[in-house]
């Protein structure tokens, strides 16, 4: 079906739409950073795992990063390359399969390394082992996204690392960014080197994690490339890896929903939609943040504005709090018209759920000629079969 991506008026059901042109633009930028800085940039599945689009990704990148058995399998079986895998806790019942599907295995603690590295190597002799280390420095302000907050369960601090690393450890993995700029990376790098450079001569690689939002409009890409190049000058034997997720799918497409009804209470009008924040845009409630809505202006985050053409946007679940903000439109909303939530691909599409048995929006790919290809529609069986 051909569609108009400005309005998506051809749609009458909710749909996540990945716009191929925008995705390729992000991929081109990421591939050019990797080339110029001579680093490897891999995709973090936790942010984006629409595997039907992996053939596009493979034109630009060669590996992915996993944080669980299923992500590792997805990388190995669908992306077609073993994954860089990190999990805070490997288990007896999954470690063999994870080892089989991985090229790099990062341990969160020395005790996990001791427990599993021999067994993992028996399963896959080509595995390279790393340790997650905690630089005790992160500029991430939202506590649930700060992996270095006091009491964190992630990584080993420098005071707990032995001067000589256990035999078989090839790399360090450090993740302390979230939607961060390259200035943050620069400052963080100083702390990382101050804490850990003593161990670098024992390593082959270092992975600087995710959160490098290099595809955001105001991101200073040359500054990132410069910082990486300078780092490589200081430690030329180290292979450098970055594993962003959001940066790949940043601003690559909307969730298109429709208005089902308009209700009113105490002067507050709510447009009831055929999507749910808790089911289909969970980060809006978790992060929390207010999504951009096309052709509408957010006028009140608390959702109590009463003006003309001003509506709360409310979900079709039974959760009382499943609504957001007050947006002002330039006309009274009509039943059936589209509400377009911008930038709903990264994290959203991997985190949705089927709470309340609410129909899950389809997932579609918009080709450059405006042909809309529906990749996946969800059915009653998808809901039922998770609870067999």
Ligand X SMILES: Cc1ncc(COP(=O)(O)O)c(C=O)c1O
Residues at the binding site are: 283
- Classify residue 82 by its DSSP letter: P
3-22 burial, b at 16+ Cβ within 10 Å, e below that, comes to: bebeebeebeebbbbbbbeb
Minimum CB separation of residue 219 from ligand X in Å reads 12
What CA–CA distance (Å, rounded) separates 375 from 53? 9
Residue 144 vs 387, nearer CB to ligand X? 144
Tell which one of 184, 247, 362, 365 touches ligand X (CB under 6 A): 247
Sheet of strand 43-44, all strands in order from the earlier edge strand to the far edge: 40-41, 239-242, 205-207, 169-173, 128-132, 102-107, 83-87, 64-66, 43-44
Specify the stretch interacting with ligand X by CB under 6 A; choose among 97-105, 193-201, 208-216, 289-297: 208-216
Nearest to 259 by CA among 197, 333, 357: 333
| Residue 210 lies near ligand X (rule: CB under 6 A) | yes
Residue 269 touches ligand X, criterion: CB under 6 A? no
Which residue stretch of 43-51, 164-172, 217-225, 321-329 sits at the interface with ligand X (rule: CB under 6 A)?
Answer: 43-51
Given a contact cutoff of 8 angstroms between Cβ atoms, the answer to whether 155 and 147 are in contact is yes
* Binding to ligand X, residues 47-76 (CB under 6 A): 47
Closest CB to ligand X among 17 and 242?
Answer: 242
**Which residue stretch of 18-26, 110-118, 135-143, 203-211 sits at the interface with ligand X (rule: CB under 6 A)?**
203-211
Which residue's beta carbon is nearest to the bound ligand X? 210
Residues 272-331 that bind ligand X (CB under 6 A): none
Minimum CB separation from ligand X for residue 95, in Å? 18
Select from 109-117, 185-193, 241-249, 270-278 the region that touches ligand X (CB under 6 A).
241-249
Name the minimum Å distance from CB 181 to ligand X: 12
Is 254 among the residues that bind ligand X (CB under 6 A)? no
Q: Which stretch binds ligand X (CB under 6 A): 107-115, 164-172, 238-246, 369-377?
A: 238-246
Q: Which is nearer to ligand X, 47 or 189 (CB)?
A: 47
Residue from 14, 155, 181, 245 in contact with ligand X (CB under 6 A): 245
Rounded to a whole number of angstroms, the minimum distance from the CB of residue 204 to ligand X is 19
| Six token digits for residue 369 | 């000629």
Number of shown-chain residues binding ligand X (CB under 6 A):
14
State the Cα–Cα distance between residues 211 and 137, nearest whole angstrom.
Answer: 14
Say which residues have a Cβ less than 8 Å from residue 70's Cβ, sequence separation at least 6.
none
Closest CB 221 distance from ligand X, rounded Å: 15
Which residues, numbered 98-137, are part of the site for ligand X (CB under 6 A)? none
DSSP reduced 3-state for 241? strand
Are 363 and 16 in contact by the 8 Å Cβ rule? The answer is yes
Q: What's the Cα-to-Cα distance from 72 to each of 33, 93, 98, rounded to whole Å?
A: 25, 15, 6
CA 157 to chain centroid: 25
What's the closest the beta carbon of residue 47 comes to ligand X, in angstroms? 4
Residue from 243, 253, 362, 372 in contact with ligand X (CB under 6 A): 243
Binding-site residue positions for substrate: 283
Per-residue x/- track, 140-179, ligand X (CB under 6 A): -----------------------------------x--x-
Q: Is the peptide bond before 240 cis (omega within 30 degrees of 0)?
A: no
Which residues does 6 contact at the CB level (< 8 Å), separation at least 6? Answer: none
* Angstrom distances, CA of residue 63 to CA of 75, 76, 106, 174, 265: 8, 9, 15, 18, 52
Out of 244, 253, 303, 361, name the contact with ligand X by CB under 6 A.
Answer: 244
Return the structure tokens found at 117: 């590295």
Structure tokens at 112: 């996990």
Residues at the interface with ligand X (CB under 6 A): 44, 46-47, 86, 175, 178, 209-211, 243-247
């Amino acid at each position: 079906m051909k569609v108009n991506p400005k309005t998506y008026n051809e749609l009458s059901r909710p749909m996540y739409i990945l716009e191929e042109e925008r995705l390729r633009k992000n991929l081109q930028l990421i591939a050019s950073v990797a080339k110029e800085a001579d680093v490897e940039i891999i995709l973090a599945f936790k942010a984006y795992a629409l595997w039907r689009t992996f053939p596009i990704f493979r034109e630009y990148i060669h590996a992915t990063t996993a944080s669980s058995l299923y992500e590792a399998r997805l990388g190995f079986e669908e992306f077609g390359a073993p994954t860089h895998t990190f999990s805070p806790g490997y288990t007896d019942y999954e470690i063999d399969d994870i080892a089989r599907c991985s090229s790099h295995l990062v341990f969160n603690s020395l005790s996990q390394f001791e427990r599993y590295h021999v067994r993992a190597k028996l399963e896959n002799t080509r595995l390279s082992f790393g340790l997650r280390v905690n630089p005790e420095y992160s500029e991430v302000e939202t506590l649930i996204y700060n992996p270095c907050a006091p009491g964190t369960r992630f990584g080993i601090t420098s005071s707990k690392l032995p001067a000589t690393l256990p035999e078989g450890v090839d790399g360090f993995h450090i993740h302390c960014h979230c939607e961060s700029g390259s200035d943050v990376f620069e400052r963080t790098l100083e702390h990382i080197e101050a804490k850990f450079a003593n161990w670098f001569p024992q390593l082959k690689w270092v992975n600087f994690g995710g959160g490098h939002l290099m595809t955001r409009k105001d991101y200073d890409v040359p500054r990132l490339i410069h910082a990486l190049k300078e780092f490589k000058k200081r430690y030329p034997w180290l292979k450098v890896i970055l594993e962003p997720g959001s940066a790949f799918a940043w601003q690559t497409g909307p969730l298109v929903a429709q208005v089902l009804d308009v209700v009113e209470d105490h002067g507050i009008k709510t447009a009831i939609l055929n999507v749910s924040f808790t089911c289909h845009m969970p980060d809006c409630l978790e992060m929390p943040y207010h999504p951009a809505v096309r052709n509408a202006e957010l006028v009140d985050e608390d959702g109590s504005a009463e003006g003309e053409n001003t509506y709360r946007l409310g979900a079709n679940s039974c959760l009382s709090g499943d609504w957001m903000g007050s947006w002002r439109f330039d006309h009274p909303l009509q039943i059936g018209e589209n509400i377009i939530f911008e930038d709903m691909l990264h994290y959203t599409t991997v985190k949705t759920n089927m709470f309340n048995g609410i129909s899950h929006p389809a997932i579609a790919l918009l080709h450059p000629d405006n042909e809309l290809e529906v990749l996946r529609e969800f059915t009653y069986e998808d809901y039922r079969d998770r609870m067999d």
